[in-house]
Amino acid sequence: MYLSGYYKESINEGSGLRSVLFISGCKHACEGCFNTNAWDFKHGEEFTIKRQLEIIDDVKSNPLLDGITLCGGDPFFSTKEVIPFIKLLREQVPNISVWSYSGFTYEEICSNRVMKQLLLLCDVLIDGRFILAERDTTLLFRGSRNQRIIDVKESQEKGCVTLLTSVK
C-alpha cells in the first residue's frame, strides 16, 4: 500500500486538529475530484511499518491533536492494509478519534465483511462519492450534498444510519 500524502496537522478533514493520511488508490473516478493523483494505487511513498510507526509517534507526541482522518484515494479500497495500522494506532493511542472518508456508502461498506472491519475501527465516516452537480462549498467537511457525516458507533447500536449532529 502507498501513502499519497500526510499532514501532521489539519483543521479541514474533520472536527478539531487532526493528522490526515491520504491513502493511495481509488476506482470511483469521481468527476471533479480534488485529488486525482491519489487514484493511482502506487502514488506517493510506500506505507512501510517504519513509516507507520513514525506517524504513530507523531500522533502520540502531539497533545493538541483531536484525532486522525483517513482520506484518499479511498481507504476502503485498501482495507486489508489499513486495518492493521489503525489497530496498532489504537493500541498506542487508545482514545484517538478516527474519521474516514469513502466514496462507498455506509450501506455498501456494511455489506462487505472486510470493509466493515475497517468501518468498525472508525468513529466517524463521511460517505458517498463526490458528485460535481451537488458540489457545495458551504458544507462542513464534505464536498457534495449527497455525502453524510455518520456516527459509526451509534449507527451500529441503532441499526440505522445516524448522522453526527455535534460537528464543530
- Distance between CA atoms of 136 and 159, rounded to whole angstroms? 29
The pLDDT score that the predictor gives to residue 166 is 77
- For residue 92, what is the enclosing H or E element? helix 79-92
Tens-place pLDDT, residues 44-58: 999 999 999 999 999
**H or E element, residue 151:** strand 148-151
Beta bridge partners of 144: 135
Question: What are the extents of the domains in the chain?
Answer: 2-158
Q: How far is CA 29 from CA 34, 37, 69, 74, in A?
A: 11, 11, 21, 10
Element (H, E) at 56: helix 49-60
Handedness of CA 126, 55, 32, 26 (dihedral sign): negative
What would the pLDDT profile of 43-101 be if each residue is shown by its tens digit? 999 999 999 999 999 999 999 999 999 999 999 999 999 999 999 999 999 999 999 99
End-to-end CA distance of the chain: 32
- 2-158 has which fold? TIM Barrel (3.20.20)
pLDDT digits (tens, 9 = 90+) for 128-158: 999 999 999 999 999 999 999 999 999 999 9
CA distances from 123 to 22, 75, 96 (A): 18, 15, 9
